Structure 1
Amino acid sequence: MKKNSLIILCILSCASLAAQKTVHKVIADNAVTVIEINASQAYELVVKTAASPRIDIQAVMDGEYGQDIMINTHKESGHFIIGTSFNPSFRDPNDKLSAHKVISVLLIVELPENSDLIVSGGNTHITV
């Protein structure tokens, strides 16, 4: 009985790990002083600082469409912009159940010390 319980526990814990997608990006650009984060698709944003000139971005995506979400980064007018969006190849099924599909994104961003930060987002929980 213990052996069966252990096997079931292992299967269930592995199934929950397979559903998550983790992305890690590191950007080294000494010219960036302003970082903008669009966290409108994220449920939580954690911002840290380090004595390093690089920007370190980690994202954990979960939910029905978690595998179809990507992290966007680009530089515009001296600002480095970070956000999330769906992959260009993603096709929204737009069925009756679409309204009940949950998308969960956790962003962890480590910035160089003394950087200016602009954050936009709706109901995002932010930890600095």
Structure 2
Amino acid sequence: MIFLLISSLGFSQHIEKKQLNVSYFEEINLVFYQVFEVEIESVKNQQLTIELISEGEYQNQFQINFIEKGKTLTIESVYPEIYQSGYDKLSAHKVFSVKVKLRIPENKSVFLVSDIANVNSLGKLKYLSVNTFSGNCNLKNFTGKAAINTLRGNINIQTTEEKIWAETTNGNIYSDEPLLQGDQIKLKTIDGNIYINNTE
């Protein structure tokens, strides 16, 4: 499945929304490259809502692919060929940015891969996996299992879960409570800091 963002006049902000029933799926894969921010909020129903906010000279060509395979639904960003190839010598001077907001049923396992996105997640999920290169990851009021990996970004989590494993190579770990080692939540970063806040 593909839906195309319809172009608007000029290069003003453009918003597109789509909703679909995902009761059949157990896993949601999100592959968002060159998306600067991803917001995830969990919901109790089985409706997945995706809202894209884009602006810039390529906004009318930005696409989202929906790929169904078994019990897994993959949602991925697709950019104009000219933007990917680098053939446009002026592309470096053109503004193009995308923000993605999602409402996802809380009983789903979510796997997110991104290069630059700052990830903000609110609420409960069955399982959340995040892999980012330079973006930060913020989890608020999180319950469930999680594995968060960043290269340069910080990790900030507010959770009631107690069994947390955290590791940073070049950063620092800050926690308001002693960590009870376990595999409920795994946090790892190379150059970022990790902030853990227990929200009983």
Name the TM-score class by shorter chain. 0.7 to 0.9
- 2:56 alignment counterpart: 63
For residues 23 and 73 of structure 1, what CA distance do their matches in structure 2 show? 15
- TM-score, L = length of structure 2: 0.50
Q: Could you tell me which amino acid in structure 1 is paired with residue 94 of structure 2?
A: K
The answer for unaligned runs of 5 or more in structure 2 is 1-8, 122-200
1:115 corresponding residue in structure 2: 108
CA change 1:116–1:95 in 2 (3 A) is closer
Offset at residue 41 of structure 1 (A): 2.5
Q: Does 1:48 align with 2:37?
A: no
Find the aligned partners of 1:111 and 1:58 in 2 and give their Cα distance.
12
Contact persistence 2:34–2:116 (CA under 8 A): no
- Provide the aligned length of Structure 1 versus Structure 2: 111
User: What whole-Å deviation, never above 9, does each CA across 1:42-61 have from its counterpart, x for those lacking one?
Assistant: 10000011011111100011
2:15 paired residue number? 22
The Cα shift of 1:99 comes to 2.2
- Give the root-mean-square deviation of aligned CA atoms: 2.1
CA contact (8 A) 2:30 2:113 kept: yes
SS in 1 for 2:18: strand
Q: Which has the higher contact order (CA 8 A, sep 6+)?
A: 1
Q: Deviations over 1:23-52 (max 9, x none)?
A: 111111311111011121210000011011
Choose between structure 1 and 2: higher helix proportion.
1
Alpha-carbon displacement from aligned partner over 1:38-96 (angstroms, at most 9, x marks no partner): 12121000001101111110001111211210222121232111122136xx6569332
- Tell me the CA shift for residue 19 of structure 1: 1.4
Structure 1: gaps of 5 or more residues: 1-14
Q: Which residue does 1:36 correspond to in 2?
A: 29
- Residue number in structure 1 paired with 2:142: none
Whole-Å Cα distance in 2 between the matches of residues 24 and 108 of structure 1? 9
Separation in 2, partners of 1:91, 1:38: 20
| 115-124 or 73-82, which deviates more | 73-82
2:73 aligned partner: 80
**Residue 97 in 1 paired to residue 90 in 2?**
yes
Structure 1's 36 and 102: CA in aligned 2 closer, same or farther, altered over 3 A? same
